[in-house]
Amino acid sequence: MQIKGPAGNIAAELLFPTDFRQEKDRCTLVIMMHGFLGGKEKVPMGFLSQLLLQAGLAVLRFDFDGYGESDGAEEENTVPKMLQDAQAVWDYAATLPFVERIIILGHSQGGVVASMLAGRLEKAGTPPAALLLFAPASILKEFARRGRFFTVRCNPVNPPATIPLYGFKMGRDYILSAQTLPIEEESSWYTGPVGLFHGTWDIVVPVSCSEAYHRRYRHGELHRIRRTGHIFLFRRKLVCRLLLDYLRRLGY
């Protein structure tokens, strides 16, 4: 399916639990936001989607502009533009007659987008029912200010038009706009329940990012998951159990 976004069509998938009937049933919907170099079906989005469906929740996952099957160019992608994509997906989900509540889930860079969107929605008086953050990459702001992304370095004041990064073309606007992102301010506007999940072996995004988020939220709960990294590859079953337990305690 396609959702109209600011850069064109956003490729999305709407998934339902077994035996769900759109004409008669109502559900909680989880909007999922992937990370940098990720996609709507890539790890960890794939196995998290399956868990949520098995738990009886519907899932709406999508590719940000410039990613996967969505319109837009890689080098023109920025976090502010991803926020616009996320808002467009939220607006679409809010019109679905069978949706009772909406939860936002984000991984890595998608976690930053999810947290900022949740804050903006709170300000607008339409907050999500809950926020789920997996290794939220708030460190991307520091990376942009230092001009250092993994093994690639650049002049942060005057970056090149594009930077090749693991087969992805990062654009100049991404770096410049990330340096002034109001991540802390906007994410702190959200006052609902927040589940945070972070691997202690994460060498991409340090656990301190989730710890900072945890301090920001009155109703936050942080799960440090030992012996797993950024995409939770080695301890999927534990991640799923922790997420399922958290959702059950929230009443889902």
pLDDT 10s digits, 149-196? 988 999 999 999 999 999 999 999 999 999 999 999 999 999 999 999
- Is 157 within a domain? no
Amino acid symbol at 117:
L
Distance between CA 178 and CA 169 in Å, rounded?
Answer: 16
- Is 206 within a domain? yes
pLDDT on residue 120: 98
Cβ atoms < 10 Å from Cβ of 208: 11
Coil/strand/helix, residue 100? strand
- Is 61 within a domain? yes
**Look-up: residue for tokens 């990720």?**
38
**Look-up: residue for tokens 């868990």?**
51
The strand pair at 162-165 and 27-33 is best described as: unpaired
Mean per-residue pLDDT, 27-37: 97
Q: What is the CATH number of the domain that holds 45?
A: 3.40.50.1820
**Look-up: residue for tokens 């590719």?**
63
Percent over 70 (pLDDT), the chain: 100
Structural domain count, the chain: 1
Q: How confident is the model at residue 148 (pLDDT cuts 50, 70, 90)?
A: very high
> Which among 10, 58, 185 is positioned nearest to 115, based on CA atoms?
185
Distance between CA 154 and CA 139 in Å, rounded?
Answer: 17
Amino acid symbol at 247:
L
H or E element, residue 31? strand 27-33
Backbone angles phi, psi at 103, to 5 degrees: -110, 145
- Is 189 within a domain? yes
Q: How confident is the model at residue 59 (pLDDT cuts 50, 70, 90)?
A: very high
Q: Are 183 and 138 in contact (CB under 8 A)?
A: yes
Q: 67: number of CA atoms within 13 Å, CB side?
A: 26
In this prediction the pTM is 0.98
Mean per-residue pLDDT, 63-75: 96
Q: Are 110 and 140 in contact (CB under 8 A)?
A: no
Alpha helices in 95-130 (DSSP H): 109-124
pLDDT on residue 133: 98
- Is 77 within a domain? yes
Q: Are 196 and 222 in contact (CB under 8 A)?
A: yes
pLDDT on residue 23: 87
Domain range for residue 84? Answer: 2-141+184-249
Distance between CA 70 and CA 171 in Å, rounded?
Answer: 17
> What DSSP designation does 208 have?
H
Q: How confident is the model at residue 73 (pLDDT cuts 50, 70, 90)?
A: very high
pLDDT by residue (tens digit) across 192-246? Answer: 999 999 999 999 999 999 999 999 999 999 999 999 999 998 899 999 999 999 9
pLDDT on residue 80: 98
- Is 160 within a domain? no
- Is 219 within a domain? yes
The strand pair at 99-107 and 27-33 is best described as: parallel
- Is 68 within a domain? yes
Query: What are the strands of the beta sheet with 27-33, ordered from one edge?
Result: 2-5, 8-15, 58-62, 27-33, 99-107, 130-134, 194-199, 220-225
